[in-house]
Amino acid sequence: GGLYSPGDPLVLLQVDTLESSVLNSSSAWLVEFYASWCGHCVHFAPTWRALAADIQEWSPAVNLGVLDCADIANQKMCGKFGITGFPTLKSLAFCAWYFGGELCFVPPTDPGDSIQKLRQSIITNLEMHKETWPPACPPLEPASVEEIRGFFQTNNVTYLALIFETNDSFLGREVTLDMLQFENIAVRRVLSSEEELVKKYGVTSFPSSFLLIKNGTFSRIPVQMEARSFYTHFLRRLPGVMRGPYAPIRAPDMLIKTTPTPRRPADRSKVYMADLESALHYALRVEVARFSVLTGERVRALKDFVAVLAKYFPGRPFVRNFLRSVDRWLRNARESRIPYSGLEFVTWVGCQGSEPHFRGYPCSLWTLFHLLTVQATRHRSVDSREAARHSVLGAMRGYVQSFFGCRECAQHFEGMAAESMDKVRSVDEAALWLWSRHNRVNARLAGTETEDPQFPKLQWPPPELCPLCHSVVNRRHVWDKAAVLRFLKAHFSPANIFLDYTEPERALVVRRSREAKEGAGEWAMGDGEERGEEEEERGENGRGEEGEKGSCSSCTPASPGKGQE
Ligand SMILES: Cc1cc2nc3c(=O)[nH]c(=O)nc-3n(C[C@H](O)[C@H](O)[C@H](O)COP(=O)(O)OP(=O)(O)OC[C@H]3O[C@@H](n4cnc5c(N)ncnc54)[C@H](O)[C@@H]3O)c2cc1C
């Protein structure tokens, strides 16, 4: 389930229905690619729904759809469309790209736009595709004197409504599309510059509209206001005008399979390895993989992120081996371009929301980074270059900037980072910095529609988790930072990570692509036919069966003294 339901006046697409209904369709499609976990998509959904309702009548020519890129099944398709942030609007214009492999997107519309602006930009986009005009779409260009003169000879309708307007007005085109499903009437726009027609009908104000009847008579359309809804209301009630047999496209909705996710009871005082591993997979295999090729800043961000993970992630041995291999591979890769492909399992436990669009990935990403900042306090680095390479906050900043799909979240986070991240002087301060910035985000989001009612956004840790963190001075709440730091170190410690609901161990492999040409490689996680040097690196308890139950102290990279550096 995503943010939309089958009752909404738009088409819920899935990877299979996208192929069958959108590609090669006789109408134009505007598809919102969203991620159900993305707060800004939650905010945008009412706008998109309202737009769909507003232009429902245009549906033989223009259809609105949605595709949830957070749904693993759709991931590849989203990658194919080059979706790198959410929400993204793309118009899939009816041209032959599916056959020719050519993508013909129009520039995405700004999700902050009003319904009117979005509606008008649909028309503008349609008009940019003159050669590939959707067969189901009526002509929208201005009418000429000749066309009007011979109109009733060439068209079998009783009425022709002429909307006189200035060039920049969208009214005529909107009413034309609004009347698309109605028979026995046509609507054409006439520009105010079309002097002969303006004179002929005695038009004195723009916009205004005239009704021509097949028997040769004409009259001004009497409306209270020269506006879209008044025109369509009048025209749809003319005698002999009725709705045609067009049936809107709804069928694909039926194909949407929603498998209810089982509730996984979780304890709020614990951290779950399933969330952390899911965050890793989602980050590396979904978010990073959205970019078909990585270059420049993104390569650096990925390298820093993986370096930090390889050093600090207290994972099961096979995950740690995997991270170290990726790190090594990324560091040694001379190539500046790194293509790769995807992988697919994600289970939320501590981050499971009461609805599928709550919590999940962003929750696990916060958890992962808190854990990493705390792990870093356990490794004192002597070499400052080494320390810089393993700066958790720097890696988080780079990751969020380069890859985090919720682009507005990324902007907010970057704002906070730019303001104060460089003032952080120690690993302890880094853990506290992230804690306090996360609390700022919690405060900003409390009470908004992205808040899961069952997990209200509170200042964290609440008194029941850490009584000592809170005190009151002069009747004002104050945090005891030393207590908070102690609490963070205990909460995000390997001993507090539980393995409930983790997937069984898999061998995760980094390999050079078989097809790799010179200068390019691939990295992939697989079921592991190709175990290379990673095999030798397996930890002492390679199978980790004990570790499947209880906490994860046995799967940590060892305590500081044990020399994992
Ligand atoms: C970098 C970043 C920026 C974001 N910006 C936005 C935004 O601008 N707008 C938007 O709508 N959403 C944003 N989000 C998403 C949002 O912050 C939440 O992650 C999401 O709404 C899920 O909330 P949640 O209730 O699961 O708890 P989360 O806030 O995700 O927290 C996850 C878990 O971390 C623990 N926790 C909570 N607070 C703290 C803390 N202060 N210190 C340590 N641990 C803590 C708790 O155990 C909590 O369950 C952002 C996410 C990230 C990762």
pLDDT tens, position by position, 273-282: 999 999 998 8
307 torsion bin: left (phi>0), alpha (psi -120 to 50), beta (else): alpha
Which residues contact residue 104 at a Cβ distance below 8 angstroms, ignoring those fewer than 6 apart?
Answer: 93, 95, 97, 129, 132
d(CA 309, CA 412): 24
Nearest Cα residue to 283 out of 456, 46, 37, 66: 37
**What's residue 333's pLDDT?**
64
**What's residue 171's pLDDT?**
97
Q: Is 209 in contact with 226 (CB distance < 8 Å)? A: yes
Nearest Cα residue to 277 out of 248, 243, 304, 314: 314
Alpha helices in 336-472 (DSSP H): 361-377, 384-389, 392-402, 407-420, 427-445
* Residue, of 41 and 488, whose pLDDT is higher: 488
**145-243 and 271-456+497-562: identical CATH topology:** no
50-102 tens-digit pLDDT: 999 999 999 888 888 888 888 878 887 887 777 878 877 766 654 333 323 33
Any idea how long the chain is? Answer: 565
Q: Which of 68-82, 155-169, 227-241, 259-273 has the lowest mean pLDDT?
A: 68-82
CA of 536 to the centre of ligand 1 (A): 38
- CATH (residue range 145-243): 3.40.30.10
Strands of the sheet with 62-68, listed across from one edge:
11-13, 62-68, 28-34, 88-92
| Closest atom, ligand 1, to C-alpha of 370 | 43
Q: What number of CA atoms fall less than 13 Å from residue 14's CA on the CB side?
A: 16
d(CA 304, CA 393): 10
CA dihedral 236, 241, 246, 248 (to 10 degrees): 10
**What's residue 559's pLDDT?**
34
**What's residue 176's pLDDT?**
96
| Closest atom, ligand 1, to C-alpha of 366 | 53
**What's residue 274's pLDDT?**
92
| Closest atom, ligand 1, to C-alpha of 360 | 26
**Nearest 5 degrees, angle CA 51-CA 53-CA 59?**
95
CA of 376 to the centre of ligand 1 (A): 21
Quote ipTM for the complex: 0.99
**Nearest residue by C-alpha to atom 40 in ligand 1:** 435
| Closest atom, ligand 1, to C-alpha of 358 | 22
Q: Which CATH superfamily hosts domain 11-132?
A: Glutaredoxin (3.40.30.10)
53-59: Cβ within 8 A, 24+ apart: 53/9, 54/115, 54/119, 55/119, 55/122, 55/177, 56/9, 56/248, 57/177, 57/178, 57/179, 57/180, 57/181, 58/122, 58/177, 58/178, 58/180, 59/27, 59/181, 59/246, 59/248, 59/249
CA of 368 to the centre of ligand 1 (A): 11
CA of 442 to the centre of ligand 1 (A): 6
Q: Is 499 in contact with 281 (CB distance < 8 Å)? A: no
d(CA 362, CA 279): 8
CA of 435 to the centre of ligand 1 (A): 10
**Nearest residue by C-alpha to atom 43 in ligand 1:** 435
Q: Is the pLDDT of residue 485 over 70?
A: yes
**Nearest residue by C-alpha to atom 1 in ligand 1:** 413
Residue 76 CA to chain centroid, in angstroms? 14
The amino acid at 264: R
d(CA 132, CA 24): 11
* Sign, CA torsion 357/359/360/365: positive
Decide: residue 68, CB within 10 A, 0-12 exposed, 13-18 middle, 19+ buried.
Answer: buried
Mean pLDDT, to the nearest integer, of 99-110?
42
Q: Which residues are catalytic?
A: 38, 41
Nearest Cα residue to 395 out of 382, 404, 407, 405: 404
> Does the 271-456+497-562 domain belong in CATH 1.20.120.310?
yes
Q: Name the pLDDT band for 509 (thresholds 50, 70, 90).
A: low
Q: Which of 22-31, 294-303, 322-331 has the lowest mean pLDDT?
A: 22-31
d(CA 512, CA 284): 17
Q: Is the pLDDT of residue 494 over 80?
A: yes
Q: Which of 271, 366, 375 to mutate to test the pocket of ligand 1 (most atoms within 8 A of CB)?
A: 366
**Nearest residue by C-alpha to atom 22 in ligand 1:** 359
Q: Name the pLDDT band for 334 (thresholds 50, 70, 90).
A: low
Domain ranges of the chain: 11-132, 145-243, 271-456+497-562
**What's residue 26's pLDDT?**
75
CA of 439 to the centre of ligand 1 (A): 8
**What's residue 293's pLDDT?**
79
- List, chain by chain if needed, residues with CB within 6 Å of any ligand 1 atom: 39, 351, 359, 362-363, 365-367, 370, 400, 408-409, 412-413, 435, 438-439, 441-442, 445, 450, 452, 455, 457, 460
87 preceded by a cis bond (ω within 30 of 0): yes
465-482 tens-digit pLDDT: 999 999 999 989 999 999
Q: Which of 363, 401, 407 to mutate to test the pocket of ligand 1 (most atoms within 8 A of CB)?
A: 363
